Amino acid sequence: MFKKVHVFRIKPGQELSGEINRYCQQHQIRSGVVIGIIGSVQRAKLNFLKELPGRYETAEYRGPLEIVCAQGSVALKDADLIVHIHMQLSGQKICRGGHLAEAIVFSTAEVVIGELDFQLCRYEDEYTGLNELRSL
C-alpha cells in the first residue's frame, strides 16, 4: 500500500502545516496519508465547520499544548498540493480537536506520512462546498 513511509521532525517555532507542506514539496509527495503527528505547540488555530456550504469558524488556543493525535491526507486539487489535517490538542484543563489551520511548534512535532502508490485527489463538492477526497 505505501510506496514509502516518511518520518521527520518539525522544530520549535516553525509553523506545522506549512512545514509539512514544504516537506511534501521537497520530497515530491503528491499522494499520502498523514498517519500521525505527536509533539507540542505554543499556539494553534483550529477550524470548525458550522454550516454548509463550507462555512468555518476559527478558534485560537494558547499553550503549550500537547498534540495528542493528528491524521489526514496529502492530495492534489488540479496541480495544487493540499495537506488536510485534523488534530487533537490537550493541556491540563483543556482538550480540543478540529481542522488544523495553523500551529506553532513548541518543543517538537514528529510527523509520519505514508506515501501512496496511487493518486488521491480533491474536488469541490457542489453541495458541501468542500474539497472532498477521492482516489484515482
Report the chain (136 residues): mean pLDDT per 10 consecutive residues: 96 98 98 98 97 92 96 96 98 96 98 97 91 92
Asked if 71 and 1 count as a contact pair (C-beta separation under 8 A), the reply is no
Q: Tell me which of 3.30.1330.80, 3.10.450.40, 2.60.40.10, 1.10.1040.10 is the CATH number of domain 2-131.
A: 3.30.1330.80
Q: What is the pTM of this model?
A: 0.93
- pLDDT value for 136: 85
pLDDT at residue 107, rounded to an integer: 97
For 83, phi and psi rounded to 5 degrees? -105, 115
**In the block, which residue shows the cell 513548541?**
106
Give the per-residue pLDDT at 1. 79
- C-beta of residue 131 within 8 angstroms of C-beta of residue 123: yes
Predicted local confidence at residue 89, as pLDDT = 98
**How long is the chain?**
136
Residue 53: predicted pLDDT: 86
Q: Report the pLDDT value the prediction gives residue 10, as an integer from 0 to 100.
A: 98
